Amino acid sequence: MACNVSLGELACFFPFLDKSAAYLSRRGLLLDAVLADGALVEKALERLRTSLERRLPNPRQCLDAPDATAAAARLALYIAAATKNPHVLRRFADSESKNFTALLRKVPGIQDPRCKIELARDLGVNARPAGEVAAGIIMAVYNSPVAVRWTSYLRYAPQDPYWAMINRPVVRGWVIVPMEDFERLLEESYEERILQIVRENELAVGKVAMSIDLTQLEDVIKRYSQRPVLQAGQATGGADPPCMEAILAALKKGENLPHTARFAITTYLIKRGWDVEQIVELFRASPDFNEKITRYQVMHIAGQAGGRKEYAVPSCETMNSWGLCPTNLRCGVKNPLQYGRRLAVKKSS
Ligand code: SF4
């Protein structure tokens, strides 16, 4: 192995790799054993708090007690999921993935680019030393360049012009990136891995929810939760119009909606006070759901990304021209946002 650290230390620095899970399993540190150990549970709760506060866990622990620290980190993830609060889980995943990058750049035994490429493989990122596919000027210009297969690059590159593939050297399907950008791609893939572990281990999360008294985390959950997801119609401004009700119903059934419908419901919910995370959650049932892309698109429409322009809710005329008005313009309003208010006025008169 190109990494110059023990397997236990590796599992401790990067507890959410596949090879870390395999290592812990070989050491007998499976969920039941960890849950039965009060000291490990305490350590997991502490890890959860540390991550949510965006502090880097002390790397010294990985030299002193690597197995316990790695096992506690994995339990901390299940606890974050067991809170059933998507904001807590997402903050934990985000913080842990940033810690991953910090350690990737800091730990002396893993600075060999071949070690980082090995870690990338564990995360499903197809990469190899850039020298194997490119030579000359590219190698001279970039700092420790790495070649990333274009499919992995597109999957993990942030949605930003800096990352557009057109601005990168590409040699026979391999995108050449400097080491710091490669580390950033790994950060994205690590975050996705963390969320994937939760999706694939619902039973384990359920067991943790039954075994650990989550009321002791009330303060954390309260501090890091945004407001609970509002149901349509509960948001400020009265009932939802038939067009938006129809889109919401289709979304909940997991139907594949056209872009126009996705755009319309997003603009509408933003104006009704929903935040980005709540809207991302709503799209989760869509057959082509991609969390990263959805979040970026919702943020873009909310004016929090890209051109920073918040989009208006399409008028009823526009909705009708898109085939999204089930009443054929019979609600007596010009914009779906006016519907709730109009209904409230009618009822009170
Ligand atoms: S008239 Fe306007 S508010 Fe009513 S369903 Fe059609 S688009 Fe929606």
The pTM of the full predicted model, rounded to 2 decimals, is 0.65
pLDDT tens digit sequence for 225-273: 754 444 444 444 568 999 999 999 999 888 888 888 999 999 999 998 8
Tokens standing for 169? 């050297």
According to the model, what pLDDT value does residue 229 have? 42
| Alpha carbon distance 331, 341 (integer Å) | 12
Burial 48-82 (b: 16+ CB within 10 A, else e): bebbbeeeebebebbeeebbbbbbbbbbbbbbbbb
Our answer on whether the CB atom of 325 is closer than 6 Å to any ligand 1 atom is yes
Tokens standing for 331? 């609600």
Q: In sequence order, which residues have a C-beta less than 8 Å from that of residue 177 and are 6 or more positions away?
A: 142, 145, 146, 147, 148, 153, 168, 185
Nearest Cα to Cα of residue 306 among 158, 194, 179: 158
Number of separate helices (H) and strands (E) present in the chain: 19, 4
- For residue 335, the CA-to-ligand 1 centroid distance in Å is 7
Residue keyed to tokens 């909310």: 302
Instruction: Let me know: does 233 contact 239? Beta carbons within 8 Å.
Output: yes
According to the model, what pLDDT value does residue 152 have? 93
Strands 170-171 and 127-129, sheet pairing: unpaired
The response to whether 62 counts as a known ligand-binding position is: no
According to the model, what pLDDT value does residue 144 have? 72
Identify which of 318, 327, 330 to mutate to test ligand 1's pocket (most ligand atoms within 8 A of the CB).
Answer: 327
| Alpha carbon distance 178, 5 (integer Å) | 24
Our answer on whether the CB atom of 321 is closer than 6 Å to any ligand 1 atom is no
Our answer on whether the CB atom of 314 is closer than 6 Å to any ligand 1 atom is no
Of ligand 1's listed atoms, the one at least distance from the Cα of 319 is 7
| Alpha carbon distance 207, 217 (integer Å) | 17
- For residue 290, the CA-to-ligand 1 centroid distance in Å is 29
Our answer on whether the CB atom of 243 is closer than 6 Å to any ligand 1 atom is yes
Our answer on whether the CB atom of 319 is closer than 6 Å to any ligand 1 atom is yes
Identify which of 316, 335, 341 to mutate to test ligand 1's pocket (most ligand atoms within 8 A of the CB).
Answer: 316
Positions of E strands within the chain: 127-129, 146-149, 170-171, 174-177
Task: Parse the chain into domains and list their residue ranges.
Answer: 7-104+189-219, 109-187, 242-348
Instruction: List residues bridging with 149 in a β-sheet.
Output: 174
Mutual orientation of helices 86-106 and 179-200 as an angle, nearest 10°?
140
Residue of the CA atom closest to atom 4 of ligand 1: 331
- For residue 268, the CA-to-ligand 1 centroid distance in Å is 12
DSSP alpha helices (H): ranges in 272-332? 276-282, 291-301, 316-321
The response to whether 3 counts as a known ligand-binding position is: no
Tokens standing for 303? 């004016």
Taking CA atoms, 223 is separated from 46, 110, 194, 332, in Å, by 16, 35, 22, 43
Our answer on whether the CB atom of 343 is closer than 6 Å to any ligand 1 atom is no
Instruction: Let me know: does 194 contact 93? Beta carbons within 8 Å.
Output: yes
Identify which of 324, 333, 338, 343 to mutate to test ligand 1's pocket (most ligand atoms within 8 A of the CB).
Answer: 333
According to the model, what pLDDT value does residue 230 have? 42
233: left (phi over 0), alpha (psi -120 to 50) or beta: left
pLDDT < 50 stretches in the chain: 227-236
Nearest Cα to Cα of residue 13 among 95, 86, 99, 91: 99
Of ligand 1's listed atoms, the one at least distance from the Cα of 328 is 6
Identify which of 263, 331, 335, 337 to mutate to test ligand 1's pocket (most ligand atoms within 8 A of the CB).
Answer: 331
Residue of the CA atom closest to atom 7 of ligand 1: 316
